[in-house]
Every structure is written in C-alpha cells, then in structure tokens.
C-alpha cells in the first residue's frame, strides 16, 4: 500500500509541475489517504502481533 502511495505522490507532483494542478492535487490527496491507511493497518497489526506473542508465551509457561 505504501508503494501505491508513493506512486500517486510522484504522479501528482509531476502533473502539478506540468500545469495540471487540480488533477495533481487530487493524486496527492489520494497518496495522503493511502499513507495514513497503511500506517493505521501497520499499527493495528503490530498491536495484534504483540498480544498474540504474549498469549503464546503465557500458554508455553
């Protein structure tokens, strides 16, 4: 998902430089949304992984 965010960011910046500011701004907005969604998914999976690790550790003991 971060790959798509970077792709949309680069396309948006190139379009803005070439004079297509409105569409370029939309691409940058999509890149921001994808970036924050990827960060949110990362944090959720990190917390779930830590909780699962503690559960396995307690089951072993």
Q: Reduce the secondary structure of 1-61 to three states and give it as a string.
A: CHHHHHHHHHHHHHHHHCCCHHHHHHHHHHHHHHHHHHHHHHHHHHHHHHHHHHHHHHHHC
Let me know: does 38 contact 2? Beta carbons within 8 Å.
yes
> What pLDDT tens digit does each residue of the chain (61 aa) get?
889 999 999 999 999 999 998 999 999 999 999 999 999 999 999 999 998 887 776 777 6
Structural domain boundaries of the chain?
2-56
- Claim: this prediction has a pTM higher than 0.85: no
pLDDT value, residue 1: 84
pLDDT for 61: 62
């Amino acid at each position: 998902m971060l790959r798509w965010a970077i792709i949309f960011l680069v396309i948006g910046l190139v379009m803005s430089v070439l004079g297509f500011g409105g569409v370029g701004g939309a691409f940058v907005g999509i890149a921001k949304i994808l970036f924050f969604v990827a960060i949110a998914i990362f944090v959720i999976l990190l917390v779930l992984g830590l909780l699962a690790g503690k559960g396995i550790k307690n089951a072993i003991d």
